[in-house]
């Protein structure tokens, strides 16, 4: 059985989608072994607890430096020794203390078509700039914010959507569909990490191109 650790800071809908995918076999032979969170009052942590998933809260405010917090996080993750570490709305920048400890084993999901719009308020920027398309990116994590080798992207046409809530809802639907599939492919060794770029097995070539979601 493969083990997954999810790091969250907020509502935890991606974490829930991943958990459900392990139960349904979309992510085969794997379990969400622990949900770790840096915000004690994050709603996602209560959701995880109510499902019986082990949780750990490590409040970043209890540490003087970013590196001290990251080392504490490294220690907690090492106790689980997961096959993969999944950032699911984890809103702390990770220093090399964390990223180099788990190089090639950490992935992130971000609500934009990277390299466009790293950071925050991606939906607002899409609306303000009247972009024709919007989407999500899944990538291996390195020390660069929302950087690291891209793994997959899903996108929609923005069309008439001028409202942040609707855009966010559609974007999250893509996230909940695509993130579990990519986690499965990585655990099945169909997708793997190299510092030079993501490596796809022949059966996973589909993820090399952006995937269009028709809604
Ligand atoms: C997701 O939309 C995810 O892409 C984003 O935070 C949201 C978390 O939602 N992540 C980032 O912006 C990372 N830079 P969730 O807590 O409901 O899964």
Averaged over successive runs of 10 residues, the pLDDT of the chain (215 residues) comes to 98 98 98 98 98 98 97 98 98 96 97 96 96 97 89 95 93 98 98 95 93 92
What residue's CA is closest to ligand 1, atom 5?
A: 89
**159 lies in a domain?**
yes
| Rounded-to-integer distance, Cα 147 and Cα 139, Å | 7
Specify if 143 maps to a domain: no
Domain of 117?
111-137+152-215
- Does residue 146 sit within a domain? no
* Residue 5 is assigned to a structural domain of this protein: yes
Residues 119 and 97 in one domain: no
Q: Provide the token pair at 140.
A: 């291996």
Same domain, 28 and 117: no
Backbone angles phi, psi at 13, to 5 degrees: -70, -35
Atom of ligand 1 nearest to the CA of 145: 14
The ligand 1 atom at the shortest distance from the C-alpha of residue 13 is: 17
CB environment 142-166: b (16+ within 10 A), e (fewer): beeebbbbbbbbbbbebeebeeeee
pLDDT at 191: 98
């Amino acid at each position: 059985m493969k083990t997954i650790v999810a790091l969250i800071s907020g509502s935890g809908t991606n974490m829930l989608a991943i958990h459900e995918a392990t139960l349904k076999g979309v992510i085969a032979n794997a379990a969400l072994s622990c949900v770790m969170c840096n915000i004690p009052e994050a709603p996602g942590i209560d959701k995880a607890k109510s499902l019986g998933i082990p949780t750990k809260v490590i409040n970043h405010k209890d540490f003087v430096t970013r590196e001290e917090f990251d080392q504490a996080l490294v220690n907690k993750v090492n106790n689980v020794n997961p096959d993969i570490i999944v950032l699911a709305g984890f809103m702390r920048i990770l220093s090399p203390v964390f990223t180099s400890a788990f190089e090639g084993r950490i992935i992130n999901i971000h609500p934009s078509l990277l390299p466009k719009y790293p950071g925050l308020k991606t939906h607002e920027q899409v609306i303000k700039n009247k972009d024709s398309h919007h989407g999500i990116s899944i990538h291996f994590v390195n020390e660069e914010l929302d950087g690291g080798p891209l793994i997959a992207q899903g996108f929609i046409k923005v069309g008439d959507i001028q409202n942040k809530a609707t855009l966010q809802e559609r974007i999250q639907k893509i996230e909940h569909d695509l993130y579990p599939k990519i986690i499965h492919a990585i655990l099945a060794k169909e997708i793997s990490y190299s510092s030079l770029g993501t490596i796809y097995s022949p059966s996973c070539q589909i993820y090399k191109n952006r995937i269009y979601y028709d809604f």
